[in-house]
């Protein structure tokens, strides 16, 4: 599992990308999807996930849909067109970042 410091800067990108690839998801589902896709190497903590989801919603990047599930309420998150654009920007920025870091840390010395 990666350190929370590494994950912290990428949380928004992960959430936006997952939501732009699917119709709608709820919080628990998001954590499970990340866990499943990364083989448990990245685990989103609830303490970071929900504040970020709320902030993205306030920003107008995400919209919500509330559904009654048994005895409780479940909030489904889906991405807005602006959010999709932001997701693309974030993913591209991150790709660039990896490219630079690879070079900077000498992981591929013959590159570039």
Q: Which is nearer to another protein, 48 or 107 (CB)?
A: 48
Nearer to another protein, 22 or 31 (CB): 31
Q: What is the DSSP string of 4-63?
A: HHHHHTTHHHHHHHHHHHSS-EEHHHHHHHHHHHTTTS----HHHHHHHHHHHHHHTSEE
Exactly one of 74, 78, 91, 102 binds another protein (CB under 8 A); that residue is 74
- 80 interacts with another protein by CB under 8 A: no
- The answer to whether 33 contacts another protein (rule: CB under 8 A) is no
47 is a contact residue toward another protein (CB under 8 A): yes
Residue 79, strand partner residues = 62
Give me the least distance between CB of 72 and another protein, in Å please.
Answer: 5
Distance in angstroms (rounded) separating the CA atoms of residues 43 and 82: 26
List residues near another protein by CB under 8 A. 26-28, 31, 45-48, 50-55, 58-59, 66, 69-75
């Amino acid at each position: 599992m990666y350190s929370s410091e590494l994950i912290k800067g990428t949380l928004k990108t992960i959430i936006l990308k997952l939501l732009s690839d699917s119709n709608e998801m709820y919080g628990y589902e998001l954590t499970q999807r990340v866990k499943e896709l990364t083989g448990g190497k990245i685990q989103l903590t609830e303490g970071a996930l929900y504040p970020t989801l709320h902030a993205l919603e306030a920003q107008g990047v995400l919209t919500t849909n509330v559904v009654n599930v048994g005895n409780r309420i479940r909030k489904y998150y889906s991405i807005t067109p602006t959010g999709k654009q932001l997701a693309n920007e974030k993913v591209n920025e991150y790709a660039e970042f990896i490219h630079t870091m690879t070079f900077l840390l000498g992981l591929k010395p013959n590159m570039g």
